[in-house]
Structures are given as structure tokens and as C-alpha cells.
């Protein structure tokens, strides 16, 4: 009986965490470059049950021997193991701002171990000098003339250097080359992640590597193709309709577990107040 409380409780916690994750996806449905999170719910290892039986051995002293009779397995509950971002391309939205850039996926190598394609990101420099990566191309020019992200991080070029511009009167080619007039001043730094699922998701749509090492530069990689489009932003890849459906499903699952928990509670109440009563 008490094991049922733990099993149902674990299911309620897992569905609550899934609902929180889906609510966060909905809140970022209009955030440029946001990658929707997906939940991985798994069950705890099953517990194998056996009953203890006593068998009588025909002998002069009626010797008895205990043995185990298999009953079967029992589930011990579920848990939300992790959340993984979905790196599918979001729809492009035109802004007509010269500082906005959309990074469009092209041909990306597929990882042999997972069977999923890699991903490309803009290279950024955080306050501590560590590289960060994002798909949000909502850039701006700061007071010092450097190209920065929406969070204030410096946008890096293909050589890992900050990009200094005279003003917002510049052009970006589909290869990521920044032109001021007829002069190429820099090339947007693009990084490639062979296993994007191993990246750690930060706030504001930022990603960092788990080891702290920088990702491989995608600039000039023969087997990686991409393009950039100035005046556009990559939108969130959250499917609002699907997310709402998943939220309702998670709520119904939580509600079902809640009713089972109430049934267990009533059974325990009856066991305490009625079964144990002495007439």
C-alpha cells in the first residue's frame, strides 16, 4: 500500500515538471532563435517479487525447507530524466533591420552514434571571455562600435575577434561577409556542433559546451553548408498547437495520478479507522 503512494507520487512530480517545461516553451514561442525543450520520462527499474513458501521434506523429524516462489515484477515509478532542446530550424521573420541576421541551416553532417544532424551557431564572447553560442541573430551596435547580441555579448568573427563597425550602414552577404561599401571588414563567426544535444542551455537562448572548450569553427568546413540572411530573424521553433495539446495531456495524467492517490488515502483511512477497530 505504502509503495503505491511513492509510485503515484513520482508520476505526479514527473508530470508537474513536464508541464513547467511546456509552459516555458509557450512563454518563448515568440523569442527569436529559441529552441523548444523536449522531456525524457523514464521508469525506475522494476522490482522483482517472490513469495516465501515452506515445503515439508518427508523424513523422520518432518524437516521443513523454505523456498522462493516467483510472483512477478512491479513498477517503482517514473521520473523526468532530462530535457533536450530541439534544434530544428525555426521560421524566418522579416524585420528589415540591418543588424538582424538569420542563420539558415544547409547541409549538416549526421552523427553516426545518435543519427541526428549537427547544428551551426553564431559565435559570441561573454563577459568572462568564454565563448557562447546562439541562434538568435538580433544584434546591435554598442556605444564603442562593436557588434553585440541582445544580451550585450560581443559577436565574434571567423578569427574569434570582436567585430567593429563604423555605423549600421553595412551589408551582410549570404556567406556571412560584412561589407562596408565595397570593403569586406569581417566575416561572421559560425561554429559547428557535431553533438548539439551535449550543449548546456543557458538563459536568453545561449548555449555553452559542457567541457568549456570552444566549438569547431564552421567557416570554411567543406562538409558544412549554411547561409545568412540580413534583415531577418529565425523565429522560435515552438509548435504552439502541439505544445498546448501536450500540456493538456500532462495535466490529465497528473489528474489521474491524483485520483489514484486519493483512492489510496481513503483505503488507508479505512484500514486505520475501521479494520483495526475492536468491537
0.85 exceeded by the pTM? no
Evaluated on CA atoms 83, 84, 85, 86, the torsion sign reads negative
Cα–Cα dist 223/205, whole Å: 26
Residues in CB range of 121: below 8 A, 6 or more apart: 103, 133, 134, 135, 190, 191, 193, 207, 215
Cα–Cα dist 191/121, whole Å: 5
pLDDT in tens, the chain (279 residues): 567 778 888 888 999 999 999 999 999 999 999 999 998 888 777 777 777 776 666 666 666 666 667 776 677 778 787 888 899 999 999 999 999 999 999 989 888 888 889 999 999 998 778 899 999 999 999 999 999 998 899 999 999 999 999 988 899 999 999 999 999 999 999 999 999 988 998 888 899 998 888 999 999 888 999 999 999 999 999 999 999 999 999 999 999 988 988 888 888 887 777 765 655
Rama region for 129: left / alpha / beta (φ>0; ψ in -120 to 50; rest): left
Residue whose C-alpha cell reads 559560425 in the numeric block: 190
User: What DSSP state is assigned to residue 188?
Assistant: B
For the chain, the structural domain boundaries read 2-82+243-275, 92-234
Residues in CB range of 255: below 8 A, 6 or more apart: none
Angle, nearest 10°, between helix axes 2-27 and 240-270?
160
Amino acid at each position: 500500500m505504502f509503495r503505491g503512494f511513492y509510485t503515484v507520487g513520482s508520476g505526479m512530480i514527473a508530470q508537474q515538471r513536464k508541464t513547467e517545461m511546456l509552459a516555458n516553451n509557450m512563454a518563448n514561442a515568440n523569442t527569436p532563435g529559441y529552441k523548444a525543450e523536449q522531456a525524457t520520462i523514464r521508469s525506475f527499474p522494476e522490482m522483482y517479487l517472490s513469495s516465501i513458501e515452506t515445503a515439508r521434506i518427508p523424513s523422520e523429524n518432518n524437516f521443513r525447507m523454505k523456498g522462493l516462489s516467483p510472483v512477478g515484477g512491479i513498477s517503482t515509478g517514473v521520473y523526468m530524466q532530462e530535457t533536450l532542446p530541439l534544434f530544428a530550424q525555426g521560421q524566418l521573420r522579416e524585420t528589415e533591420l540591418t543588424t538582424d541576421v538569420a542563420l539558415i541551416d544547409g547541409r549538416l553532417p549526421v552523427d553516426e552514434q545518435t543519427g541526428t544532424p549537427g547544428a551551426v551557431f553564431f559565435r559570441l564572447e561573454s563577459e568572462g571571455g568564454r565563448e557562447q553560442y546562439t541562434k538568435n541573430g538580433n544584434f546591435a551596435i554598442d556605444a564603442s562600435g562593436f557588434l553585440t547580441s541582445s544580451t550585450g555579448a560581443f559577436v565574434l568573427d571567423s578569427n574569434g575577434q570582436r567585430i567593429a563597425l563604423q555605423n549600421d550602414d553595412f551589408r551582410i552577404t549570404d556567406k556571412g561577409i560584412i561589407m562596408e561599401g565595397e570593403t569586406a571588414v569581417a566575416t561572421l563567426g559560425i561554429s559547428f556542433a557535431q553533438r548539439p544535444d551535449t550543449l548546456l542551455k543557458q538563459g536568453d537562448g545561449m548555449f555553452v559546451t559542457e567541457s568549456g572548450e570552444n566549438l569547431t569553427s564552421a567557416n570554411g568546413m567543406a562538409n558544412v553548408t549554411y547561409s545568412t540572411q540580413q534583415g531577418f530573424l529565425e523565429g522560435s521553433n515552438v509548435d504552439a498547437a502541439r505544445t498546448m495539446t501536450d500540456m493538456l495531456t500532462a495535466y490529465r495524467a497528473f489528474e489521474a495520478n491524483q485520483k489514484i492517490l486519493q483512492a489510496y488515502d481513503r483505503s488507508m483511512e479505512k484500514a486505520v479507522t475501521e479494520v483495526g477497530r475492536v468491537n
